[in-house]
Amino acid sequence: MKVGFVGLGVMGAPMTANLLRAGHEVAVWARRPAAAEDLVTQGARVAATPAALAREADALFTVVTSGADVEEVVFGPEGFAAGLRVGTVVVDHSTIAPATARSIAARLKALGVDFLDAPVSGGGVGAREGTLSIMVGGAAAALERVRPLLGALGKTVVHVGPSGAGQVAKACNQMVMVAAIQACAEAARLAAAHGLDFERVRGALAGGSAASRVLDVFGARMAARDFAAGVEARLHHKDYALLMGAAAAAGAPLPVSAQVWLQLNSLMAHGWGLDDSAALLRVLEA
């Protein structure tokens, strides 16, 4: 298939490389031309604008930071909308508000184009290895048209419902994951308060019912006091703002998530937003 891709960062660059390896014809656009250089050596073609991508693509992908960024790529000057063809599918792997995803879907539907909100979980490692979990909102028929492409990106592709549903599922993912990071931080703080080596405590926990990927990855970073960013905490802070907004709009009580959000707010206030989310331990220590 002919694919257009925008967003060549930690997630998007390896995802694009996986599409190339799967044999698809991929064109890219980047605000910083240097971001595309390595992909060009792998066979990608560079387009002058997002609109130029849209004029030739069967499917268009975005992985950018915010809802405003997605809207700019799709509807801004020389955005996708300036070159879209009827029948194209736009797939957004960003994490944005469910309401924003629904709005974009409605605007594109009026142009004869399907929109799938398809946020991912698995981080940079999952993006490189093609093992992402992809949660998809939108029309089932549109998903089936691009399923061969998504199959090159992830090992789990689940249609969770209509437009916006993918973003709700991603919010649920972030709630569970970051709450677990906070729990690890509190466990590490309690262990230290009693004079215990958290790495030993973590080893004991890993053999029992508290075992988890979060304990393995983020707990290890806390034990080693390695706060260099694997996942920048500012991104989890952004995600929590989105999910708490969605919860407020739906009247859904999220008492644990509200407390975790306060801890993320404190982390940001300390200036640790570019550190890993394991720095939630530092918030407790402060």
Return the closest-CA partner of residue 167 out of 270, 239, 80: 239
Q: Is 109 a catalytic residue?
A: no
How many angstroms separate the CA atoms of 221 and 24, rounded?
38
Alpha-helical segments (H) within 110-232: 123-129, 140-150, 165-193, 198-206, 213-224
R_g of the chain, CA atoms, integer Å = 20
Q: 243 CB contacts (<8 Å, ≥6 apart)? A: 171, 174, 175, 254, 257
Contact 90, 80 (CB under 8 A): yes
Contact 119, 94 (CB under 8 A): yes
How many angstroms separate the CA atoms of 150 and 159, rounded?
12
Return the closest-CA partner of residue 99 out of 165, 158, 160: 165
Which residue is listed with tokens 């790495």?
199
The token pair at 103 is: 């709005």
Q: Which of 2, 109, 155, 170 is catalytic?
A: 170
Q: Which residues are catalytic?
A: 170
